[in-house]
Amino acid sequence: MTNLFFHAHSGVRYLVLLAGVIVVGYALFRLASGRGYGTGVRIAGASFAGLLHLQVLLGFALLFSDRFHPQLIGHILMMIMAAVVAQIPVSVLKRRPLEERTVAPHLVGGAAALLLVIAGILSIGRPIL
């Protein structure tokens, strides 16, 4: 069972990284081209946050099915922070009226979460890709 969680957690990592690059790239494109907030940005941001939440759940399943190693503490904290940071723009912009929504929170939140994910991967001595 541990092997299953490990391979799932390792495989979803690539989807998380891809989704993060898509959010940041699409938000940069919308911002540079002068286009406003759109459904695509919302979907990309929500997908990135959802994949990060799935990754955190898989990580906890792996953690509880295997022995705990103290060097994982930094990895766990960074990944939880990344999931929270990725969720903030999605939750905040959902409550704003449509005319007040901008792309900038997705750009900043996506980039910050992506940097936390990369730092979390590197903290356990694994390569990013």
Residue type, position 119, single letter: A
> Would you state the pLDDT for residue 129?
83
Beta carbons of 126 and 6 less than 8 angstroms apart: no
pLDDT category at 77 given cuts 50, 70, 90 is: very high
12: exposed, middle or buried (C-beta count within 10 Å: 0-12, 13-18, 19+)?
middle
Beta carbons of 115 and 77 less than 8 angstroms apart: no
> Would you state the pLDDT for residue 48?
97
In whole angstroms, what is the distance from residue 113 CA to residue 69 CA? Answer: 24
> Would you state the pLDDT for residue 57?
96
Within 10 Å of residue 73's Cβ, how many Cβ atoms?
A: 11
24-70 per-position pLDDT tens digit: 999 999 999 988 888 899 999 999 999 999 999 999 999 888 888 88
Q: Say which DSSP state 98 is in.
A: G
| Domains of the chain, CATH where assigned | 2-123 (1.20.120)
Mean predicted confidence (pLDDT) in 72-94? 94
